[in-house]
Every structure is written in structure tokens, then in C-alpha cells.
Amino acid sequence: MDSHLPIDRKQRELVEEFLRLDDWTVRYEHLMRLGERLPPFPEAWRQAGNRVHGCASLLWLRGLGEPGCLIYRGASDCPMDAGLLAMALSVYSGQPAADIVASPPRFIFALGLPSRLSMNRLQGLERLVERIRRFALQRLMQTHVPVTLNRGREQRLAR
């Protein structure tokens, strides 16, 4: 997926990509293949501050960049969780912080993941996306960038 596309479009394309696959067995296999394609995650980043707690496995996430373009990198010791990580990163990495904050993870429900994942895995995915969006909000707050929230109000975020 092109990192220059708007988040909503990236979510739609991700959903379409998965729904084109015949059944959930094939979708799970595809999900794990996505996880195998994650870029290498340096050992030095595998530390407590980068751990995403509440996942079914060990999962790390690191956010980098400035509010205009945030890059996320991550890793997991479990193929299924690595695939879920890859999905989230394909949607949010390379995007402006304000867009990340304003864009809920609609792909989770559009794909029916709540009925397909274990409770632990679903909670882990929710925590992962929450962490991605919280990092974006922190970057915005550090630079005092105005954010348009979903309600359409513009608020100046300050520390």
C-alpha cells in the first residue's frame, strides 16, 4: 500500500484486499505473510518502553518522526500478531500525526476481526492501535499543532 494515500483510503484498500480472499483460512495465511514482511526491528529497540502490553505475545512498537510524517516500526514473536501489527502499520505509518489522531481503526470491524480473534489477541490489537494514536497525539502536543477532531471542532493542543 502506498504510504501517501489518506488513512481512510488505506483502510478501505486493506479491507478490500482481505475480502477478496476466499475464506478465513486463506486470510489468516495472508495475515501471517504480511507479518513476515515487516522490516527488521533492531534488538536495541526491544526494551520495556517499546513493549505493547496486553497482547497475546511479545510485541514491540517504536514511533519515529515529526508531526508531518510519523513512521512506526514493530515486531512480534508470534506470526499472527506480527501480521496484525503489519496491518496497523500499513494504515498508520507514514501519515501525519493529526490524521492518525483523527482516524479510528475502522478496518478492525470492517474485517469482522472481533468475531475472528481471541479476546487476548483483539485486546492486543486495540492496545497497539491505541499506542500508535497516543504517540501521534503526543507529537502534536509537543509542537502545539492545531488538530481537527472528529467532531469538527478545531482545538489547539498544548502541554
d(CA 1, CA 118): 27
For residue 47, the surrounding DSSP H or E stretch is: none
Crossing angle for the helix pair 79-92 and 119-143, to the nearest 10 degrees: 30
- 7, 55, 84, 89: the catalytic one is 55
- In the block, which residue shows the cell 484498500? 13
In one-letter notation, the amino acid at residue 27 is: R
**Residue 78 annotated among the catalytic residues of the structure:** no
Q: Which of 148, 126, 88, 5 is nearest to 157 (CA)?
A: 148
Q: Which of 158, 157, 108 is nearest to 132 (CA)?
A: 108
- Active-site positions? 55
